[in-house]
Structure 1
Amino acid sequence: MMIQQPKPLTVKRDLPRPSDAQIAAFQAIPTGFVADALAGRGVLAPAIKPLLEGNLPFHAAGPAVTAHNSPGDLLATLAALNDVQKGDIVVATVCGHQGNAAAGDLVMAMLKNGGGAALVTDGPMRDLSGIVDVGLPVWCTGLSPASPSTSGPGTVGLPIQIGGQCVSSGDMIVADRDGVVVVPLGEIDTVLATLDTIRAAEAAYDAEIRAGRKVSRKALDVLSDGRTDFL
């Protein structure tokens, strides 16, 4: 028997956060560009997808506020709403639990009231019509009518594992139709500098394709420089 029961919540205060300029620089940037700038790192599992019903937005970029919930629970997500600043994205794990919803329209409405930009979770959502009415974007694993509990234990603000990635509060989250990418706080400036090169390369390649290119330069190089065995 435990002499003292653990508290249902652990909350980290004074969460780190990117600068306003860093946050602004990621707005409207495709996740593909961000993933390329990270050399393929930071991409959440493809099971975490945007809800696209009812013309919900499908692009968001903002600092993470993390919540770790026990499977089937919601308490940490609810507590994380207390720390949301304008433009933040709540990233809430339920340890991949699919037996009930990770959140619903009431959470989304409170997130919107607090100035939050989006929710990312590795569980399903519920109350789709209400979520559509709220109008904030959501990335999740689907839909479920089953309600979560609010018992804990859980954490807010501490690093979490979600979708195969580690996410810390203050990391930049960039999400769109293709999925979700996590940019570690300490790598933001490096990624932003690399994005300029990626944009230029992508624009040049697009121009070549519009002009009629049929085979990639990479493939043509391998075909012509002795690295191919022809049978």
Structure 2
Amino acid sequence: MHYSFVFLLLFCLTSQSLFAQILTLSRDEMIKLTSRWEGERYPDGRPKVPNEILERVKDISIEEAWGSMRGEEYHNQFEGNWMMIHEDQPIVGRALTAQYMPTRPDLEETLKAEGEADGRIGGMNSWPIDELQMGDVYVADGYGKVVDGTLIGDNLGNSIYAKSGNGVVFDGSLRDLAGLEKIEGFNAFVRGWDPSFIKDMTLGGLNTPIRIGRATVLPGDVVLAKREGVIFIPAHMVEDVLINAEFVALRDKFGIQRLREGKYTPGEIDTRWTDPIKQDFMAWLDENPDEMPMSREELDAYLENRTW
């Protein structure tokens, strides 16, 4: 049995209704699961990282975000080796998670009945789409299934983009690539493409913890997907990760410029900076305020705690 499903099953055994809780979490359970997040939440309790933060995340690199999280002992937030529709089109947004598993008839019958009783309609692979909010990224654990693992085609792709204005990250596959390519602004990170229809897959968790390859993903995590891979930033860490990544990018830009000018040697730039270099960097920032993606107040507060 898949590890994330085992975790969720054990978690749900403490609830009054086992099968109602397998598919989703209550607001209180969601808040408990993401308790380090102190900001705005959706009605279901999922963290809602502000749009202005998401816009800035688009410009940071995977490596910068990865480095910040590794420093805080978050070692399992990246997964690589993807196929995508558009290699030059990043995906950034809040994770809406779904977990699929191989079909077992008795379990699927019960889950479908519970879903219908809750007012869900259509195939189980459409249920997560009904939950999408603008700015979400639909992230699905399809356990790497490609043949008969096509979670969506172009019809559902259009629905996803209409609801979220965003794309998808699937540890699974898609069909109808030609149709999906026509959805302007839509992108997908997947394991492959296949003409088959989804078959023998059951939705076992909706907005629950899931595994994507070697990464653990919680609802509301900030998804940053670029050509080299996908990183999942915990909502409560995203502002710290962002400001650190932006600072590192500024530092690199200054260093590269000064190296090209011949003012410093590589050995001076690629080690702990001396006080004169720090002063030069601060003067460079004053001369180039448009280079700063953050406010000067944010930068000054960040520098108070940085050792360079």
- Fold shared per TM-score above 0.5: yes
In the superposition, relative to structure 1, how do residues 75 and 16 fare at CA in structure 2: closer, same or farther (>3 Å)? farther
1:148-187 Cα offsets, whole Å, 9 max, x none, are 1376242110010012111011000011222211101121
How many Å separate the matches in 1 of 2:155 and 2:20? 25
Gaps of 5+ in 2: 1-17, 27-43, 109-121, 272-308
In the superposition, relative to structure 1, how do residues 89 and 128 fare at CA in structure 2: closer, same or farther (>3 Å)? same
Does residue 58 (structure 1) correspond to residue 89 (structure 2)? The answer is: yes
Which of 161, 167, 172 is equivalent to 1:123? 172
Does residue 161 (structure 1) correspond to residue 174 (structure 2)? The answer is: no
In the superposition, relative to structure 1, how do residues 88 and 57 fare at CA in structure 2: closer, same or farther (>3 Å)? farther
How many Å separate the matches in 2 of 1:60 and 1:28? 11
| Other-structure match for 2:146 | 98
Question: SS in structure 2 opposite 1:85?
Answer: coil
Most deviating of 9-18 and 114-123: 9-18
How many Å separate the matches in 1 of 2:81 and 2:125? 20
| Other-structure match for 2:23 | 10
In the superposition, relative to structure 1, how do residues 43 and 207 fare at CA in structure 2: closer, same or farther (>3 Å)? farther
- Structure with higher helix content: 2
For 1:45, the aligned partner's letter is E
Question: SS in structure 1 opposite 2:239?
Answer: helix
**What's the TM-score, normalizing by structure 2?**
0.60
| Other-structure match for 2:99 | 68
CA contact (8 A) 2:85 2:181 kept: no
CA contact (8 A) 1:75 1:150 kept: no
Which of 48, 59, 63 is equivalent to 2:82? 48
| Other-structure match for 1:201 | 251
CA contact (8 A) 2:259 2:266 kept: no
Give the % identical residues: 21
Give the CA deviation at 1:194. 1.1
Q: Whose relative contact order is higher, 1 or 2, with alpha carbons under 8 Å and at least 6 apart?
A: 1
Which of 42, 46, 54 is equivalent to 1:23? 54
1:85-115 Cα offsets, whole Å, 9 max, x none, are 1111000111122333232212211101213
CA contact (8 A) 1:48 1:121 kept: no
CA contact (8 A) 1:69 1:75 kept: no
**Coordinate RMSD, CA, aligned:** 3.3
CA contact (8 A) 1:42 1:181 kept: no
How many Å separate the matches in 2 of 1:137 and 1:118? 5
Runs of 4 or more consecutive aligned structure 1 residues displaced over 3 Å after TM superposition: 5-9, 39-44, 71-77, 208-213, 215-218
1:54-79 Cα offsets, whole Å, 9 max, x none, are xx762121100001011489955421
CA contact (8 A) 2:152 2:174 kept: yes
How many Å separate the matches in 2 of 1:47 and 1:133? 24
Which of 163, 176, 181 is equivalent to 1:132? 181
| Other-structure match for 1:144 | 194
In the superposition, relative to structure 1, how do residues 7 and 151 fare at CA in structure 2: closer, same or farther (>3 Å)? farther
For 1:110, the aligned partner's letter is S
Most deviating of 123-132 and 65-74: 65-74
